[in-house]
Amino acid sequence: MKLKSIAIIATIALSLSGCKTELEKFSSNYSLEISNPKSVYTQNDEIKISLIDDAGIGMDSIKWYRNAQLLKEVSGSTLSRKLANEPLGNITYKARIYKDGKITAATTQVTQYSNKQPNMIKTVVTNRFPHLTEAYTQGLEFYGDSLYESTGQYRESDLRITNPTTGEVIKKIELPANEFAEGMTILNNKIYQLTWRSNKGYVYDLNLNKLDEFRYNESKEGWVLLTMANIY
């Protein structure tokens, strides 16, 4: 009786394992192959990608994406794109495969560089100012006679006002220990500060009194923050 029970349990386990294997087989069956791979792509190149069906499972339909954008004009198991029309930097191509009610995807990534040589700009150091080396600066902005600075690291993050001439910290406010401060900027006499991966930002007055909080959900990581007037 005991051996019979073990045999039944083993049979059920194998059956469940077989069902799981079929699903995994479908999910891992497809891949993307670049027929003209290069270490460096530029806007003069064209990329050609083929969808590989390793086990010959087939497909009902395919949708192609570039950086999460649906390419409505593309159909079939091959993709050909002139990179002159594609963005610079990392480009992710994805094929979403539909078969008998099941959906899976295959992706590949290339990096495109500009075919224009960068202009070389000469710089001249006109002055040097002291600064605390333990401050893990993530954002800074001169405003009036003071330097406002957002510093990072868990358990060390703060927003501070610094004397730019001496490097002395005039005032600072610390963030919660589980938050990592990131970029900051000043707009209409209010300071806006981001945090890394917390999806939370803070608003302060110029004396570092907290006025408000805000959430941002479009980005998983808060990094740089600036006002357009500061880049001219």
Domain of 194, CATH number, reads: 2.40.10.480
pLDDT reading at 161 higher than 70: yes
Report how far residue 60's alpha carbon sits from residue 102's, in angstroms, rounded to the nearest whole number.
10
One domain for residues 145 and 218: yes
What average pLDDT does this structure show over 114-118?
82
Contacts 24+ apart (CB under 8 A), 114-121: 114/42, 114/43, 114/88, 115/42, 115/43, 115/44
Does position 7 have pLDDT exceeding 70, yes or no?
no
- Based on the domain organization, do 104 and 142 belong to the same domain? no
Q: Does this model's pTM top 0.85?
A: no
Q: Please check whether residue 37 is in contact with residue 83, taking contact to mean a CB–CB distance below 8 angstroms.
A: no
User: For residue 164, what are the contacts with CB-CB under 8 A and spacing of at least 6?
Assistant: 129, 142, 145, 146, 147
Same domain? 149 vs 102: no
What total number of domains does the chain contain?
2
Give the position of tokens 């002395």. Answer: 168
Asked, for residue 57, whether it belongs to a domain, the answer is yes
Please give the residue range of the domain that contains residue 203: 137-231
Nearest-angstrom CA–CA distance, 86 and 74: 15
State both tokens at 110. 């290339």
Q: Please state whether 197 falls in left (phi above 0), alpha (psi between -120 and 50) or beta.
A: left
Question: 172 and 212 share a domain?
Answer: yes
**pLDDT at residue 53 above 50?**
yes
Question: Which amino acid, residue 189?
Answer: N
- Quick one: the chain helix, strand, coil %, rounded to 5? 15, 45, 45
Give the domain CATH number at 88.
2.60.40.10
Sorting pLDDT into bands at 50, 70 and 90, what band is 19?
Answer: low
| Within-domain flag for 182 | yes
pLDDT, mean of residues 191-206:
91
102, 147: one domain: no
Per-residue pLDDT at 186 exceeds 60? yes
The pLDDT score that the predictor gives to residue 160 is 94
Q: Is the pLDDT of residue 11 over 70?
A: no
pLDDT at 1: 46
pLDDT at 22: 81
Are 144 and 216 found together in one domain? yes
Same domain? For 79 and 150 the reply is no
* 84 lies in the same domain as 47: yes
